[in-house]
Structure 1
């Protein structure tokens, strides 16, 4: 069992205390010792019962199950908490409430659980409108209520669980018919007909390699998993670019977990930034990558600066979405992405951009490649919007020639560079936009 709180009277206990004090006062005014004694007895009883909770514990083991086992951003999930008493003295009815990083369950949402030694009891919580991310669920708060309901003590059961919420992927159904990406499945069939199964060009297995690439003859020969090198290189790819700089997303704002109790200065440095428009962009990028996978092609997801965000191929969707669950605004730069291949289609989803990122995005298009940019405007309240504004470099001094271009400026610059531009806002349905804009048809 984890830490315990200070026992407190319940609403009923406060009422009994008030009644006891009132009886004492009336008895004193009326010079009635019997009333004074009765009132004093009530007060002492409540105080004694409250103090007795200091010696009561709830030694329980907590396990959690989520349905589905991975959440989807914006959707709901059901959490089933099983509570098993571990001590023979732990019994009776308690109320349990989960501690969440993305919201707070009120006392009214606490679930009543009957603890019986040797038997697990369950409580069910439904979490709505899940935010994308890798969340730490727990610990469980357990309210020990005195049998007469006049006092309670809240204790915290040890143990937490991780719950991954991935971006929403919209089923579009265009990937298998895409003219731009259809070479993926065709090349795979040609490779198979050409005897790719016996391809001797192999290397050792690395984390993230699809199992379909395992070369079993080479594996048996080397005594460790080997994968086909040539097939990996031959798998056609597309490039999806997503802007992650918070300064370019007009609705980016800080958020603080509701359970945090750190100081203001310490909290400010660790507060993550969130943006509804950026969440829309992550869902768009995930949907495009999965559709590209339906066409038999791989996807490289990068930032405008060429930093690798994630990889996706038809056999790695779960891992890819897990990587996107971790993606945050202003993420630190990672490893550089591989250079774009000739004729590799590029789909970018951006909003405002600084001039350096815009120049790098234009340069990310390989010779002969199609390039589509989806420029997103945040669905802001009436009268709000993003205008060009200076960025603040590391030395803290803003320069007039170093600014974030507004979405309409970004769209114009990309059109001038030969990109096809689709302008939208984050209230538009991702699937409808992909279907009607022809993003996958170039």
Structure 2
């Protein structure tokens, strides 16, 4: 919630604008009265009619008095804005709640409330508030919606004051604003076993036991309070004192989501473009893997990893899954095309090994980039690639399909390198492709519809 007071803003403007600010706030009615009064005064002087002069003075003084009184009015009004929710998927609506509190001892007059919003969120909301009693409050709300992801400022809130005769109108602005974050659409995914692992925990522990064996467990001396079930009898007999097994910390399974953001790899723009599908697909996989207990990170072709709490960039056990998901969603909300021409920077990050499952969302590839991806596969136990062919996304559905020998060759190179590579057609459903990747990894025919647990 964001709260700001309008009284201080009015006092600041009062010292700077002077009478010029008050006159600038005259409405069309007020300017008409002032012009009619001046004209009547001139005519009374020319015609020598004193009664006409009194009428002219009345017409001219009324808007000036209204402007002066309104300008010197000091309403102590506090305003607040609340977003529900503050982070919303593209295409969904968020509701903005506005609240006005009269914190002065005097009732207000007619108030016109207006909030500034970007044009992509809809028309600018305007509200008319009746007289607010001393200590009273008024609450209004409006809805915003955007099909384009991004971060959009809301505010500052503007309060328009007017006199009872409608002669003058002044605008007072609050100083604070809020930010609405429109994140990519997230599609629920089936819990398939693309890397051959059923859970986010336990794989590292099973691997260590398989390599070391039960006899190679390093024991330590018994301490008061240790569970006797952890006593290592063979070491106890060897050292002549009670020895217990050390507590093993299970290693969290890892997943790296690689998002190709190269501008040359995509064509078209808008919410239905290939790049937006790739961003949405990456968001879906990130959320899905976090929910399954994986340590996840987002990697782009520029080599930037998100989140970066540790040196490896993964969202580890010290970071809550909800916080990690929120951080990555905020990053994907504003991610844009990069100027890079290749994937070598991402490969430099991955060449260290121990990256876990690798899921890549790729645009158009040439032979060199396909070769780089082939080397990436050697650093991961499992790799899945979703390749978007931009030509199929920019053509109209009624167009005659053209051969895709180039993209087909790149898919063949990825598959030979060990990737589970799928071409993403226009308008494809991420969940169905996710299931298809699992079927291809296990060699199950597509018609059988098999899937992992």
TM-score for the superposition, normalised by structure 2: 0.63
Q: Distance in 1 between matches of 2:75 and 2:46?
A: 44
What's the offset of the Cα at 1:13?
3.7
What's the offset of the Cα at 1:245?
3.2
Instruction: Pick the structure with greater CA Rg.
Output: 2
The equivalent residue for 2:336 is 329
The equivalent residue for 2:278 is 281
The equivalent residue for 1:260 is none
Q: Distance in 2 between matches of 1:410 and 1:295?
A: 33
Bigger shift: residues 121-130 or 373-382: 373-382
Q: Distance in 2 between matches of 1:239 and 1:408?
A: 29
Q: Distance in 2 between matches of 1:128 and 1:88?
A: 38
The verdict on how the C-alpha distance between 1:25 and 1:340 changes in structure 2, with shifts beyond 3 A counting, is farther
Q: Distance in 1 between matches of 2:159 and 2:266?
A: 41
2:300 equivalent to 1:303: yes
Q: Distance in 2 between matches of 1:305 and 1:346?
A: 16
The verdict on how the C-alpha distance between 1:45 and 1:434 changes in structure 2, with shifts beyond 3 A counting, is farther
Q: Distance in 2 between matches of 1:73 and 1:63?
A: 25
Q: Distance in 2 between matches of 1:42 and 1:370?
A: 81
Q: Distance in 2 between matches of 1:95 and 1:200?
A: 74
2:102 aligned to which of 73, 82, 85: 85
The verdict on how the C-alpha distance between 1:430 and 1:41 changes in structure 2, with shifts beyond 3 A counting, is farther
Query: What SS does structure 1 have at the residue aligned with 2:327?
Result: helix
Query: What SS does structure 2 have at the residue aligned with 1:417?
Result: helix
Structure 1 residues 121-140: aligned runs within 5 Å: 121-129=138-146, 131-140=148-157
Unaligned runs of 5+ in 2: 1-7, 210-216, 220-246, 308-313, 398-403, 442-453
Q: Distance in 1 between matches of 2:33 and 2:87?
A: 47
Q: Distance in 2 between matches of 1:422 and 1:313?
A: 32
CA contact (8 A) 1:62 1:84 kept: yes
2:385 equivalent to 1:372: yes
What's the offset of the Cα at 1:424?
2.5
CA contact (8 A) 2:25 2:169 kept: yes
Q: Distance in 1 between matches of 2:51 and 2:363?
A: 78
Q: Distance in 1 between matches of 2:103 and 2:373?
A: 58
1:316 aligned to which of 317, 321, 329: 321
Structure 1 residues 3-402: aligned runs within 5 Å: 4=13, 6=21, 7-13=24-30, 16=33, 34-35=51-52, 37-89=54-106, 91-101=108-118, 103=120, 109-112=126-129, 114-129=131-146, 131-172=148-189, 174-175=190-191, 177-180=192-195, 182-185=197-200, 187=202, 230-231=249-250, 234-251=251-268, 277-310=274-307, 311=314, 315-327=320-332, 328-330=335-337, 337=349, 339=351, 341=353, 344-352=356-364, 359-366=371-378, 369-375=382-388, 377=390, 380=394
Query: What is the number of equivalent residue pairs in this alignment?
Result: 362
Q: Distance in 2 between matches of 1:441 and 1:293?
A: 23
The verdict on how the C-alpha distance between 1:235 and 1:143 changes in structure 2, with shifts beyond 3 A counting, is same
What's the offset of the Cα at 1:278?
3.2
CA contact (8 A) 2:295 2:316 kept: yes
What's the offset of the Cα at 1:60?
2.9
Query: What SS does structure 2 have at the residue aligned with 1:126?
Result: strand
Query: What SS does structure 2 have at the residue aligned with 1:88?
Result: coil
2:437 equivalent to 1:438: yes
Q: Distance in 2 between matches of 1:200 and 1:27?
A: 111
Q: Distance in 1 between matches of 2:405 and 2:100?
A: 55
Q: Distance in 2 between matches of 1:290 and 1:302?
A: 15
What's the offset of the Cα at 1:243?
1.7
Q: What is the CA deviation profile of residues 410-436 of structure 1, one whole-angstrom value per residue up to 9, with x for unaligned ones?
A: 6643433324232333x545445545x
Q: Distance in 1 between matches of 2:423 and 2:389?
A: 9
CA RMSD of aligned residues (A): 4.5
CA contact (8 A) 1:237 1:299 kept: yes
The equivalent residue for 2:237 is none
The equivalent residue for 2:414 is 417
- Structure number with higher helix proportion: 2
Unaligned runs of 5+ in 1: 202-227, 254-273, 384-406
CA contact (8 A) 1:293 1:313 kept: no
Q: What is the CA deviation profile of residues 301-330 of structure 1, one whole-angstrom value per residue up to 9, with x for unaligned ones?
A: 211354313445795144223333134225
